């Protein structure tokens, strides 16, 4: 699910950046709008990079959460074994 959401966001921001690049190409012949188009393109690229970094961090946090849940499960299994040994020792 997260991969599909990330792919859709990446596609959306790529379309925005390509649209900004097309706008920049169109406005090169009109110097009054050149800086505005360049700033727009830089902003779109920055947003795309930040979204990409955000999803990378979310993916890493999800992987860490899975590892922590696995560790918790192993600790719980160890606790059950220790309680079982304690029960057998006094039974």
Determine the pLDDT at residue 45: 80
- What angle do the packed helices 2-27 and 31-90 form, to 10 degrees? 170
Which tokens in the block code for residue 74?
């192993």
Q: How far apart are CA 62 and CA 6, in angstroms?
A: 14
Q: How far apart are CA 85 and CA 68, in angstroms?
A: 26
Determine the pLDDT at residue 34: 60
Which tokens in the block code for residue 76?
């719980």
Q: How far apart are CA 45 and CA 1, in angstroms?
A: 25
Instruction: Specify the residue for token string 């079982």.
Output: 84
Q: What is the pTM of this model?
A: 0.51
Q: What is the pLDDT along the chain (91 residues), one digit of tens a residue?
A: 666 666 666 666 666 665 555 555 454 555 555 667 677 777 778 887 888 888 888 889 999 999 999 999 999 999 999 999 999 998 7
Where in the chain are the domains?
A: 2-65
């Amino acid at each position: 699910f997260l991969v599909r959401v990330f792919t859709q966001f990446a596609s959306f921001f790529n379309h925005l950046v390509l649209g900004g690049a097309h706008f920049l190409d169109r406005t090169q012949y009109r110097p009054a709008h050149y800086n505005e188009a360049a700033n727009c393109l830089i902003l779109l690229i920055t947003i795309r990079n930040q979204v990409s970094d955000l999803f990378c961090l979310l993916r890493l946090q999800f992987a860490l959460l899975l590892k922590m849940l696995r560790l918790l499960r192993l600790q719980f299994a160890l606790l059950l074994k220790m309680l079982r040994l304690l029960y057998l020792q006094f039974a």
